[in-house]
Amino acid sequence: MIEGVGDELLDCARMVASSARLGEQVEGYVARSRETEIKVFGGEVESLSSAETSGVGVRVLVEGRTGFAWAGTLDPKIVAATVDEARDNAAFGAPDEHAGLAGLADVSGTERPDLELWCDELLSVAPAGKVDLALAVEAATLRADARVRGVASAEYSDFAMQTAVVNSLGVEGFSRRTGCSLYSSALAGGEDETQTGFGFSAGRTVTDLDVERAAMNAAERATRLLGAKQPATMRLPVVFDPLVTRSILALLGAALSGEAVLKGRSMFIGRIGEEVAASSVTIIDDPTCGEAFGAAPIDGEGVPTRRTPLISNGVLGGFLQNVYTARRDGSRTTGSAVRGYGSPPGVGARALAMSPGTLTPEEVMRAVPMALYVQSISGLHSGTSPVSGDFSVGAEGVMVRDGDFAEPIREVTISSTLPRMLLDVVAVGNDAVWLPGGAAGVTLLIADMTMSGA
């Protein structure tokens, strides 16, 4: 840890932890984030918002009962009142023998990964420089293709976030990270047709951002759909764009959470050691990988993060755990507590990735005579369930015939079930790429899904 960095947050968290009375366990989780958001439209800045937010979340445990309270400020008086409120709330919790904060035993045995996730450079960029990036991505999107008639939105955003967690059992942790992104949404088509497509670029600092690539992707995704029609209902193989695979992986992450499993909310309950996926499928959560956008040295309870294999060559190996779920399960925390200051820790993946295969994306598309290439899906949360495994989402994309893009399609749903899709994986591309959203993307071929249309 760099000397002096995070002292103020750590001091606030230590103050909370030190207020523990005899027989109490107390934890303070303190976060501060500085954020900028710039929206441009028609070559002009539409809005520029910049602000710093901070807050504290307090857990108090008394005789196995847990109380929680939070406040969106670090004002010492309000922080003290928040501790009292959490203590008061503890009286209403049911006693639970497994309840408890992370102890020294939970944080030992695993090295805290040494990650550089903070770029001072980002903090020194003047607002004008950020405005220029947003204007540049808008202009580049318009320029990218003659069929792009407008840019629905072009945005720059960044954050610099620091968190500290300290508890009365002696656990202390601090982490910080920066990030920024550019986003553009292209409108393509003439008077009687509109198609949209987005592109983005993200990194830890502005020099990681690629304006042209974000613009090209937005234009390409919108123009690719021009002339799209609703096809007839049929069953067919489906190729997922890496962005789509990322969203599906994130959904699987919810079912691989130890909390979901012990509370009966996962399709993977009781299936450890079984073949739940095709043998080409290996899924690992690895927040110690610095390139992942969700990389972090410690979790929301101050426990070091680590590489956790979940599905290996198709076989379900284990689940993600925080301190509480691990105690219930009789295992050890995997450092997977996720939270903001406004909620007690849950369990979640930070950097979920499917191990890449050997085929290029082009070879994946060529692996079957005909398939639907899905470039975006909608309604992921209303149409899928990590509990039942049901999967039915809206889709846009292009038919692939003999390995080449053919006619574009719209207004369809694609459906199957998540367990079946995992078993139906035919090929994993070699193009694994980290994406924002807690998971990596990769081109994926699924043998059989139902496409519902006309």
State which of positions 93-112 bind other proteins (CB under 8 A). 93-94, 96
Distance CA(415)–CA(452), nearest Å, equals 8
Residue from 18, 73, 358, 360 touching other proteins (CB under 8 A): that is 73
DSSP letter for each residue of 222-288? HHTTTT-B----EEEEEEE-HHHHHHHHHHHHHHTBHHHHHTT--TTTT-TTSB-S-TT--EEE-TT
Partners of 178 in the beta sheet? 160
Q: Are strands 195-203 and 172-188 parallel, antiparallel or unpaired?
A: antiparallel
Residues 6+ apart with CB under 8 A from 60: 20, 24, 25, 26, 66, 67, 68, 83, 86, 87, 89, 90
Q: Is 197 helix (H, G, I), strand (E, B) or coil?
A: strand
Candidate segments 13-21, 64-72, 111-119, 303-311, binder of other proteins by CB under 8 A: 64-72
Task: Tell me whether residue 364 or residue 414 sits nearer to other proteins (CB atom).
Answer: 414
Per-residue contact string for residues 423-452; x = within reach of other proteins by CB under 8 A: ---------------------------x-x
| Half-sphere exposure in the Cβ direction for 159 (13 Å, CA) | 13
Task: Tell me whether residue 115 or residue 156 sits nearer to other proteins (CB atom).
Answer: 156
8 A C-beta contact, residue 219 and residue 138: no
Candidate segments 46-54, 288-296, 309-317, 350-358, binder of other proteins by CB under 8 A: 46-54
CA distances from 382 to 95, 244, 257, 394 (A): 35, 16, 20, 10
Quote the DSSP letter at residue 313. T
Q: How far is the CB of 204 from other proteins (least distance, A)?
A: 21
Q: Is 119 in the site for other proteins (CB under 8 A)?
A: no
Task: Tell me whether residue 118 or residue 391 sits nearer to other proteins (CB atom).
Answer: 391
Candidate segments 2-10, 41-49, 102-110, 113-121, binder of other proteins by CB under 8 A: 41-49
Q: Is 226 in the site for other proteins (CB under 8 A)?
A: no
Q: Is 417 in the site for other proteins (CB under 8 A)?
A: yes
- Binders of other proteins among 382-401, rule CB under 8 A? 382-383, 385, 387-394, 396
- Binders of other proteins among 141-180, rule CB under 8 A? 149-150, 152-153
Residues 6+ apart with CB under 8 A from 315: 273, 274, 275, 276
Residue from 242, 290, 317, 342 touching other proteins (CB under 8 A): that is 342
CA distances from 183 to 209, 376, 415 (A): 10, 16, 29
Task: Tell me whether residue 308 or residue 392 sits nearer to other proteins (CB atom).
Answer: 392
Residue from 17, 71, 338, 372 touching other proteins (CB under 8 A): that is 71
Residue from 48, 80, 367, 399 touching other proteins (CB under 8 A): that is 48
Task: Tell me whether residue 195 or residue 443 sits nearer to other proteins (CB atom).
Answer: 195
Residues 6+ apart with CB under 8 A from 322: 258, 259, 299, 300, 301, 303, 333, 336, 337, 345, 346, 347
- Binders of other proteins among 248-287, rule CB under 8 A? 263-265, 267, 269
Q: How far is the CB of 45 from other proteins (least distance, A)?
A: 5
Taking every pair of C-alpha atoms in the chain, what is the biggest distance, in angstroms?
72
Task: Tell me whether residue 289 or residue 409 sits nearer to other proteins (CB atom).
Answer: 409
Q: Is 362 helix (H, G, I), strand (E, B) or coil?
A: helix
Q: Is 233 in the site for other proteins (CB under 8 A)?
A: yes
Q: How far is the CB of 27 from other proteins (least distance, A)?
A: 13
